[in-house]
Structure 1
Amino acid sequence: MRDAYVIGAGQTPFGTMPDESYRSLFSAALETAVDSVPYGLERDDIDEAVIGSLGVGGRQLGLSGPAATEHAGLHGIPSSRIENACAASGYSVRQAVQAVKSGMADVALAGGVEIMTDMSSDVTKYWLGVSGETEWERLTGTTFAGVYAQMASTYLDQYEATQEHLSMVAVKNHENGAKNPKAHLGFECSLDDAVGAPTVADPLNLYHCCPTSDGAAAVLIASEDVVDEYTDDPIRVAGVGAASERVGLFQRDDYTGIASSKKAGEQAYDEAGITPDDVDFAEIHDCFAIAELLAYEDLGFCERGEAHQLLEDGVTELDGELPVNASGGLKSKGHPIGATGAGQVAEAFKQLSGKAGDRQIDDPQYGLTHNVGGSGGAAVVHVLEREVAQ
């Protein structure tokens, strides 16, 4: 199979955008991605497109892939939509990589888009809830904040982490997001602010929860056969891993980890030929603060129950040994469901290309992205590599 490379990537600002549609947002994200390709790229060069979206609000549930790509000027190519809840566009990146590696496409587009802020909070909760287990969670009134609160309660009871450690995640990610001009909540917060925020679902408070956002992201993947036509500094997709888990939390034996994340990470490391120690930075799916702590452990960055120690030691700070969520993560950058996974890859592409501005990490070689659907029913991990000249 051929190697696949990221040659361009971009995203819109994430936030509240009442004047935009899913079509206009996706077109803007694609334009940004195309503009980031060093030697230029024509839309006719793109052989296939895969678009991630939950279709929040019921907008264009059928044929949303072609609806978005045709509007963006991609005519006649295979275009499809993938839905895997919050992991939708992480999986769209995976499918684009597969298309390129298999030889079905020389250049493939992966992207995602979501509009979430034009509905009442009750309607938004409904659309978020469709990604949970239907009979025994959503229809009995359980929200995702409630599901992750159960995970947080179990974890805090079993290990030495505290609610303050959850707040430390928020403080770190807001500090990073304040350096990201495309972040939805691009402001810093103090630890006192994050500790004293109103409770949402005990033990989670407002600062432990990501916002609902509008936005889109796009990633351009090229094969080794044509990559030199577009750049002399490509970012290799070194490893990809994906896995599923029981959708309902009540169906699982363990609430203190996400099995799909662990398996997806192991697959990605194995394909890339690296270990967690080789990762220079990570974009992690922190829909709730507890999710970031669990991911530290599921992805092998520390042993089970030791995630809080990484926070206390500053390991995951922007200037730490393993910066996590330099973009601000879902907590600060925002979480337009269908766009989140591709947005993570766009951030990793910027970091590995040395174009992340005030949040640039020093000389990274390997970056990891981790995208989760629901409470872990699906997960996908990508390892991207900046190839160093020998």
Structure 2
Amino acid sequence: MTATRVSGAGMTRFEAASDRSLLELATAAADDALADAGYATTDVTSIHVGNALAEALGTQTGIANAVTASLGAEGVRADRIENTSASGASAVHRGVEAVASGGSSVALVVGVEKMSVAETADVTESMSRLVHDREYVQGLTLPSFAGLAASAYLDRYGVPREALAAVAVKNHANAVHNPVAQFRKRISVADALESPLVADPLRLYDCCPMTDGAAALVLSRERGVRVASTASATGTHAVADRADPLAIESVRIAGERLFDGTNLSPRDVDVACVHDAFTVLELLELEELGFYDRGAAWEATLEGETRLDGELPVNPGGGLKARGHPLGATGVSQLVELTWQLRGDLPDERQVPGAETGFAINVAGFGNNSVCTLLQA
């Protein structure tokens, strides 16, 4: 079977509050991706839209149909995919399957979110609904889970608090030269350690922001970066039911399925985009996926192995932490970044030299569901 390829990529600026509507953001990213691919709207045979919160925040229903109409692509197959914070990667997965099966010759995948339309408390409430019912009524939130995991990680492996700060410092440094990133400013370890407390031991700079933005990919079998493998998995829904608070089984299983479907392993990856909604998650995911042994990712981070010029550059565009985290767009934006990296499109200060294999993981909730994608130049 001919491989599915990323033929075009596009992305809007990620912002705290965009002056464009949800539909305008989605359309802008889609137009950019189509232009990059050299395809016209009339070439598109399916549209797959990743979005998590449009109905919950009262901005849009029937979003796939609205995007189709905005693009003037009536008649194509269209659907909306919701998988909380992994909606974007799940939409890509759907598009890859459509092309690989022959059901679509040119699939347009758009991830979009406009979180600024609601007050912070309302967005937080909507996102809190993705946890298990029992945990929701007890008032637990994603920052709560992240704080508990971070505390356990620091204690179990004797990790200095500076290791979490180093993740934030690295990702902010990577975003400085990324023109579509939400936070294009450097921070220091001291800045991270002295920022306001959110969920002990996590502070403000350990947590991703709320973001508006959209990203899009054009998938076909004709030309572009090759989609080597995609895989997803669910995990134990209630975090309290997990045997080990630091084991995220959906990440591990999705990663194993991804690499089992190829002749590649984590050692073959040249650049990675991981779901750093909280700094501790970058470390836990790298370990679950086999990039590092358990309890070792923090040392690699402090030693600079995950920096842009390190052995395994992680989150070269700034990650969720600094590029931003518009839920439905995040998984697509990771693959836009990898596409740019593998094509060698970026200026020297952003480019991972000679990158041929790129890996991405987009996580729903606190590991309730994970989606992995492997791209090759």
TM-score, reference length from structure 1: 0.94
Deviation string 1:101-122 (CA, Å, 9 cap, x unpaired) is 1110111111211011222221
> What's the counterpart of residue 370 of structure 1?
361
SS at match of 1:137: helix
> What's the counterpart of residue 41 of structure 2?
43
Note the C-alpha offset of 1:161: 2.0
> What's the counterpart of residue 271 of structure 1?
261
SS at match of 1:330: helix
Change (3 A) 1:188 1:6: same
Contact 1:239-1:271 within 8 A present in 2 as well: yes
Measure, in 1, the Cα distance between the counterparts of 2:104 and 2:30: 18
Note the C-alpha offset of 1:258: 1.2
Note the C-alpha offset of 1:141: 1.5
Contact 1:276-1:299 within 8 A present in 2 as well: yes
Provide the identity percentage.
38
Q: Which moved more, 1:61-70 or 1:85-94?
A: 61-70
SS at match of 1:117: helix
> What's the counterpart of residue 25 of structure 1?
25
> What's the counterpart of residue 292 of structure 2?
302
> What's the counterpart of residue 153 of structure 1?
151
Note the C-alpha offset of 1:55: 2.1
Note the C-alpha offset of 1:87: 0.3
Residue type of the partner of 2:2? R
Cα RMSD (Å):
1.2
Tell me the matched-pair count: 375
> What's the counterpart of residue 176 of structure 2?
178
The one of 38, 44, 50 aligned to 1:52: 50
Measure, in 1, the Cα distance between the counterparts of 2:322 and 2:204: 12
Name structure 1 gaps, 5 residues minimum. none
The one of 303, 307, 313 aligned to 1:313: 303
Q: Which moved more, 1:123-132 or 1:338-347?
A: 123-132
Aligned pairs (5 A) from 1:1-390: 1-37=1-37, 40-56=38-54, 57-59=56-58, 62-133=61-132, 135-223=133-221, 227=222, 231=223, 234-357=224-347, 358-386=349-377
Measure, in 1, the Cα distance between the counterparts of 2:57 and 2:124: 13
Deviation string 1:58-79 (CA, Å, 9 cap, x unpaired) is 3356422111222122211111
Measure, in 2, the Cα distance between the counterparts of 1:208 and 1:106: 41
Note the C-alpha offset of 1:180: 0.5
TM-score, reference length from structure 2: 0.97
Residue type of the partner of 2:292? C
SS at match of 2:28: helix
SS at match of 1:58: coil
Note the C-alpha offset of 1:195: 1.3
Residue type of the partner of 1:165? A
